Amino acid sequence: MFEKFKKKLVEIFSRKKIDPDEAAEEIPLKLIEADVSVETAEYLGNLVRNKLKDRDFSGELNDVLYASIKEILAIPKPDILNVNKKPFVIMFLGINGTGKTTTIGKVAKYLKSKGKSVVLSASDTFRAGAIEQLSMIGKEIGVEVIKHEKGSDPSSVAFDAIQHAKARNIDYVLVDTAGRMNTNKNLMDEMKKIKRVSNPDITLLVLDAVAGQDSINQARTFHENVGFDAVIVTKLDTDARGGSILSIYHDLRKPVLFACVGQGLDDIMQFDADWYIEKLMPENSIA
């Protein structure tokens, strides 16, 4: 995982001694090639420089880098399990192909495994295929899917799903939404309307780790137009460089709630900062 990122770090670690100012200059240059944004890479470079210069911090470069990345990842994650509202409504955002529909299935299965009841709202009414895909996932995990016809109002599907959950005392409503392009104004207006009608307790943005810097641009558009609380990063099992996760934390000030590591409905894990940093760092650099 994250081979390219690791390779970049090895290029720095292979040097016997590193001057703090050199590190501050070199680290950003390497990390930008591993999908970290310029802003985040420079910030990280400065954190490393300050720590290396700090007499009280007696670590090696790898300890300093570990601690600096950990500092960036220190934003608390929302807890979606211990909630005191019923139904708890989760709205999912993301452009086509990021893995949004599959991710909803994974989250639904995860919640079910914790003893929670779930209903899915097929509010991507733009594509008939999306309604079908969600219905198949619902069937596979034994969760009901509320759906209308293709082309119908996505907000009214969400409204019906919430009414359904209220009537049956269901714990969670997971609202799928359309993707298309994040630059599409109609899409953003549609998302705003679904948000207004369903009044979600939390809104999660699904980002594909392979998209790298582009995923940060997508996130900015969703942030400015619709707003979201946390991110789910998908496809970390592929050859994604992984650096965009740092930019999500630093540039957007949003936490990553889950990491998805495969196409199966069980391939989801709670995002853990230490797991991520250990995967990023070259093997022989971790004590």
User: Binding site: which residues?
Assistant: 94-101, 176-180, 234-237
Concatenated DSSP letters of 28-87: HHHHHTTT--HHHHHHHHHHHHHHHH-TT----HHHHHHHHHHHHT-PPPP-SSS---SS
Q: How far is the CB of 75 from ligand GTP (least distance, A)?
A: 22
Q: How far is the CB of 59 from ligand GTP (least distance, A)?
A: 33
Q: How far is the CB of 150 from ligand GTP (least distance, A)?
A: 13
- Rounded to the nearest angstrom, the gap between the alpha carbon of residue 259 and the centroid of all alpha carbons in its chain is 7
Q: How far is the CB of 45 from ligand GTP (least distance, A)?
A: 30
Per CB under 6 A, the list member of 6, 195, 235, 254 interacting with ligand GTP is 235
Query: Helix 3-13 and helix 273-280: axis angle, to 10°?
Result: 70
Per-residue buried b or exposed e for 216-247, using 16+ beta carbons within 10 Å of the residue's own CB: bebbebbbeebebbbbbbbbbeeebbbbbbbb
Q: How far is the CB of 58 from ligand GTP (least distance, A)?
A: 39
CA distance 49 to 46: 5
Per CB under 6 A, the list member of 28, 94, 154, 212 interacting with ligand GTP is 94
Instruction: List, in sequence order, every residue forming a beta bridge with 172; answer none if it has no partner.
Output: 88, 118
Burial status of residue 82 (CB atoms within 10 A of its CB: 0-12, 13-18, 19 or more): exposed
Closest CB to ligand GTP among 97 and 151? 97
Q: What is the CA radius of gyration of the chain?
A: 20
Closest CB to ligand GTP among 182 and 234? 234
Structure tokens, 160? 């019906």
Binding mask 174-203 for ligand GTP (x = CB under 6 A): -----x------------------------
By Cβ distance, which residue is nearest to ligand GTP? 99
Of 77-85, 166-174, 192-200, 230-238, which part binds ligand GTP (CB under 6 A)?
Answer: 230-238
CA atoms within 13 A on the CB side of 41: 21
Per CB under 6 A, 234 contacts ligand GTP: yes
Per CB under 6 A, 131 contacts ligand GTP: no
Per CB under 6 A, 154 contacts ligand GTP: no
Per CB under 6 A, 225 contacts ligand GTP: no
Annotated binding site for GTP: 94-101, 176-180, 234-237
Cα–Cα distances in angstroms (integers) from residue 41 to residues 127, 171, 282, in the given order = 38, 41, 18
Per CB under 6 A, 214 contacts ligand GTP: no
Per CB under 6 A, 99 contacts ligand GTP: yes
Closest CB to ligand GTP among 65 and 131? 131
User: Which residues make up the interface to ligand GTP (CB under 6 A)?
Assistant: 94, 96-102, 130, 133, 179, 234-235, 237-238, 260-263, 267
